[in-house]
Structure 1
Amino acid sequence: MTAFPDIAATPAELIDHRAVGRSLEAPFYTSPEFFDLDVAAIFAEHWIFVATEAELPEPGDYVTITLGSYSIVVVRDDDENLRSFHNICRHRGARILEQERGSVGNIVCGYHKWTYGTDGTLLHAPSQPQGFDPGCFGLKPVHVRSVAGLVFVCLAERPPSDFPDVAARIEPYLLPHQLRGAKVAAQIDVVEEGNWKLVMENNRECYHCDGHPELLRSFFPTYGYTEENLPPRLRPAHERYLQVDAELRQTCQRLGLPYELIEELDNRATGFRIQRDALNLAGESFTADGKVACRTLLGDFPTPRLGHLALHLQPNSWFHFVSDHAITFAVLPLAADRTLLRTTWLVHPDAEAGVDYDLDVLLAVWTATNEQDAELVGRAQRGIGSPAYEPGPYAPTEYQVEAFCNWYITRLRAHLTR
């Protein structure tokens, strides 16, 4: 590979010269200019996973989300519908809700007490002149939609038109887990010292999975490999996987659960991948022995041995759904070299901590995995910051990383063309 000749290249030039099959040039991960472009071209133009309906169980419940310079509110209104707004008062632009989450009767700006309903309408604006029309000053809306209990927002005036199709194709996989009626068992935020794309890329491959001993108790280390590139050391695990996967397919067919792989990661605006896949050991959950972490199953399943349903969505999320709980992961950019990873564990609404599940057991695998990944992402960010860095080649098992980068470059090009 010939290095890009101009160290002062513009983002557009770097995008045009991106080498297929290799990691991105350093400015994509380190430049504040690229960070601003990512917020504008990716996070302000695509559907972004931000929460679960379980976080908003009652009217007035809200969460706030930061995406670059944007602050968004998602709230359940008085009619129990989801609403989303820019977190900006229509008076003089003050930030309205400062907390990450809470519950309100009305939405009141703490500066001059302009008051809004949970549907965004302006209810009260003190000391306005005669003829003032409150109907012209409601909160600015943001597109919001729930997909089987997963909440997405889109800041664009015209969201990507393919999202309804994606939702229709993944909902049959998700609905049996009854996420809309679930409750939050725990939520943990980790700030990773790396660019948001490194967080996503790290999740898209298992080339590094020997660094996850807790996860590899139940997760097969053969993820991403094929018969052609499978190393001999993984052959026994692969044989075990084939056996368990065949049993899982028979179970899914008997129960009418969709399990087939759908993978459209870089050929559409809303890239996604979904598949129900086998787990090792008892095959039930992400635990040290593969058995359920929660006695009360999340859905109406006659067996807990259902492997895991894995969903990846560009640009900022991945999910794992097992019979007894669900784990959601939201990637939110903070700066060119800092990213918030928010992980949420959902369980059956009747499941009781200390009775139906041990919270430490429930959290153990993915808490450890997130901490390990954060260290790896930080290491990658520090290395890419060196003048000696140049893009390296992806291994065949990293094809999903290449797909993510190809999707990302394609979306940047589309944005700059517009």
Structure 2
Amino acid sequence: MTMSQMLSPLPMRQTSTSRVDAEKIVEIKRLLDTRRQGFSLSAPFYTDPDLFQLDMEAIFGQQWIFAASIAEMPEPGDYVTVDYGPYSLIVLHNDDGGVNVLHNVCRHRGARVLTKNSGTTGNLVCGYHSWTYAPDGDLIHASAPGEIEFDKKCFALKKAHGRTVAGLIFVCLADEAPQDFDQTAAVFEPYVAPHELAKTKVAYQQDIIEEGNWKLVMENNRECYHCDGHPELACSLFPTWGLTDETVPAHLEDVWGRNQSAQASLEQRCQRYGLPYEVVEELDTRVAGIRISREALDGDGESFSTDGHRLSKKLLGDLRDFRLGRCSMHLQPNSWFHFLSDHVITFSAFPINDHQTLVRTTWLVADDAVEGVDYDVEKLTHTWKQTNLQDKQFVELCQQGVRSPMYEQGPYMKSEYQVEAFINWYTLRMREYMA
């Protein structure tokens, strides 16, 4: 599979103006213009349905969104459906090795064409009146007794952009997708490619609905200031993430020293195997914001377990050492990833409405790994299952708080600089959309 397999979609019809009332747009612009640098957003950004609608237009309607991995749809004809806000998409593995991305809206009466989260299909048949579409979305059957023939070419499923990079699948709803994703893809592909996601399979997938705005979900993910609340994760992930020599607190000095030593050893191994490990951090300095690096884990340094020991006996791809820590990647606006020697975990946040977000976590192992022999699903998923539930509680506490009349913007700590970068990125994209 090439680094970038991109469709040439038919233009997607979009409204030229926002669905949000003009007076509300003026108020939102004022809130953006008066936002205090280094502080959280004002309450409406987390609670206002109109602002959520604008998020769907300006962010999820314009940017590249992580949808799935190729391991979730490994063969031609395999598909997943992805829902966020008012949108539902079919992402289908095509015969050319790329993906077709189609709006999951029948052109007859608007019914959902595919209703399952995933599956395998030939033609796409709407269950309502049996309108039938080819895998590329063209309408091929819509007959009924006595009906006058009409031009089926005018009633194909609407298309969106789709591309695959190193086994990760991205979609974009905009008429013209942001072009700097090419540069971002060129940054992360060398880090991700050695794990060979096309040779992995899904070991487990977890969907959690968090009672919180999607931005609170992302803010929570972008910092480790709260990591004392993740006891399972702290067994292998150093809780000093985001700290520096100047900001590490006294009670973490020993951990910091152990982290520095482990990182030095990891970098030596990466140099030996020709693996990139340097930090690349452009979270708010490009449209397709990214942070990626390879970082040491505690204990044995192999995986997310109580002692840092491997959770699968099978190495991924062409990796030759289990002690390669984690390759951690953040992509704006909705995803984060951990690529380890023995497994991969992908995370995606899909907004449902202004106060609910679906968080999807997928664990991938080598495609020849045998469950019960090479890995145990419960052990493989335990750390991040617990961490996700803990994060769910943290996000929901924040959502409850931002609804209070007494809420006001609070300052981000130095270790939360990536939260500030996410909010900077978000406000820039919103201003661009409303310009």
Q: Normalising to structure 1: TM-score of the pair?
A: 0.96
From 59, 65, 71, the equivalent of 2:76 is 59
From 270, 273, 276, the equivalent of 2:288 is 270
Give the letter aligned to residue 329 of structure 1.
F
Per-residue deviation at 1:295? Answer: 0.2
Measured in 1, the distance between the counterparts of 2:109 and 2:207 equals 32
1:339-379 superposed Cα distances (whole Å, 9 cap, x missing partner): 00000000000001100001111001100000000000000
1:161 is matched with 179
1:282 is matched with 300
1:200 is matched with 218
Residue 37 (structure 1) aligned with residue 90 (structure 2): no
Matched-pair contact (CA < 8 Å) for 1:55–1:183: yes
1:297-324 superposed Cα distances (whole Å, 9 cap, x missing partner): 1122221000000000000000001100
Give the letter aligned to residue 87 of structure 1.
N
Give the letter aligned to residue 50 of structure 2.
E
2:4 is matched with none
Per-residue deviation at 1:59? Answer: 2.1
Per-residue deviation at 1:129? Answer: 5.8
SS at match of 1:280: coil
Residue 96 (structure 1) aligned with residue 113 (structure 2): yes
From 98, 101, 111, the equivalent of 1:81 is 98
Measured in 2, the distance between the counterparts of 1:316 and 1:40 equals 15
Give the letter aligned to residue 317 of structure 1.
S
SS at match of 2:122: coil
- Structure 1 residues 128-137 or 261-270, which shifts more? 128-137
1:153-197 superposed Cα distances (whole Å, 9 cap, x missing partner): 000010111001111111000000001221000000011111100
From 358, 361, 372, the equivalent of 1:340 is 358
SS at match of 2:59: helix
From 221, 230, 246, the equivalent of 2:248 is 230
1:6-17 mapped onto 2 (5 Å cutoff): 10-17=27-34
- Structure 1 residues 85-94 or 305-314, which shifts more? 85-94
Per-residue deviation at 1:133? Answer: 2.5
From 292, 298, 302, the equivalent of 2:316 is 298
Residue 20 (structure 1) aligned with residue 37 (structure 2): yes
From 336, 340, 346, the equivalent of 1:322 is 340
Relative to structure 1, the CA distance from residue 9 to residue 125 in structure 2 (aligned partners, 3 Å threshold; closer, same or farther) is closer
From 211, 216, 233, the equivalent of 2:229 is 211
1:147 is matched with 165
Give the letter aligned to residue 144 of structure 1.
G
Measured in 1, the distance between the counterparts of 2:49 and 2:156 equals 33
Measured in 2, the distance between the counterparts of 1:94 and 1:222 equals 49
Aligned-pair identity in percent equals 55
SS at match of 2:225: coil
From 369, 386, 389, the equivalent of 2:404 is 386
Give the letter aligned to residue 44 of structure 1.
G
Matched-pair contact (CA < 8 Å) for 1:78–1:118: no
Residue 401 (structure 1) aligned with residue 419 (structure 2): yes
Residue 126 (structure 1) aligned with residue 135 (structure 2): no
Residue 351 (structure 1) aligned with residue 345 (structure 2): no
1:374 is matched with 392
From 171, 184, 189, the equivalent of 2:202 is 184
What value does the CA root-mean-square deviation take over the aligned residues?
1.5
Measured in 1, the distance between the counterparts of 2:261 and 2:300 equals 13
Measured in 1, the distance between the counterparts of 2:249 and 2:420 equals 21
Measured in 1, the distance between the counterparts of 2:93 and 2:248 equals 48
Measured in 2, the distance between the counterparts of 1:231 and 1:78 equals 54
1:129-151 superposed Cα distances (whole Å, 9 cap, x missing partner): 66633223221111001111111
Measured in 2, the distance between the counterparts of 1:100 and 1:331 equals 16
Matched-pair contact (CA < 8 Å) for 1:270–1:313: yes
Per-residue deviation at 1:60? Answer: 1.8
SS at match of 1:345: strand
Matched-pair contact (CA < 8 Å) for 1:44–1:156: yes
- Structure 1 residues 108-117 or 264-273, which shifts more? 108-117
Measured in 2, the distance between the counterparts of 1:403 and 1:167 equals 20
- Structure 1 residues 73-82 or 168-177, which shifts more? 73-82
Per-residue deviation at 1:237? Answer: 0.7
Q: Normalising to structure 2: TM-score of the pair?
A: 0.92
Matched pairs, number: 411
